[in-house]
Amino acid sequence: MRALLPSPVPLDALHSTLRERGLDLLQPFRFGDTDEEHVSVLLSVAEIPANASVLDIGCGVGACARLMHEERPDLSFTLLNYSAKQLAECPDQFTKVLADAHSLPIPNEVFDVVMFNAALGNMDIQVALAEATRVLKPGGILLLNELEREAGMPQEVGSTAGTR
């Protein structure tokens, strides 16, 4: 399996534009008026246990993890991204992994929580979720804050992408 983009170059170009506009938390639908309120709702819904280890797949610049950690400093985060440019802008307090979500360089059953925030739609859902569940501890939490795409990669879906 391969990433949607053959290289992170287009993602890096878009990233620069978004950062110039001051955008940090790139989640199109929110549960609150501010980034902090949105993330607080995510935390309350997920009911993450104390001292949990969290893998944020497709983390962007780590804004969601940073805000979660501000509210829940007991959580430890590993941030995973396909873009080295975005990963370089993530907070240094977190472990960073440059990788494709379709082939995680992580052993089985490592994390208490694996989360996708507005990232899964850029991946082959079945493959990315299989990898996420592989690295999730038994009884762990899979947190999905995503828009839905039915199947395959967008270029495979054709002109009906995004429609039902």
How high is the pLDDT of residue 10? 59
How high is the pLDDT of residue 162? 38
- Cα–Cα separations (whole angstroms), residue 118 to 16, 51, 107, 146, 159: 18, 24, 24, 5, 22
* Mean pLDDT of all residues belonging to the chain: 80
The whole-angstrom separation of Cα 108 and Cα 66 is 25
How high is the pLDDT of residue 111? 98
Q: Are 68 and 39 in contact (CB under 8 A)?
A: yes
The whole-angstrom separation of Cα 164 and Cα 80 is 31
How high is the pLDDT of residue 17? 59
DSSP string, 88-113: HTS-TTSEEEE--TTS--S-SS-EEE
Q: Which residues of the chain have pLDDT under 70?
A: 1-32, 147-164
Place of tokens 């007991």: 74
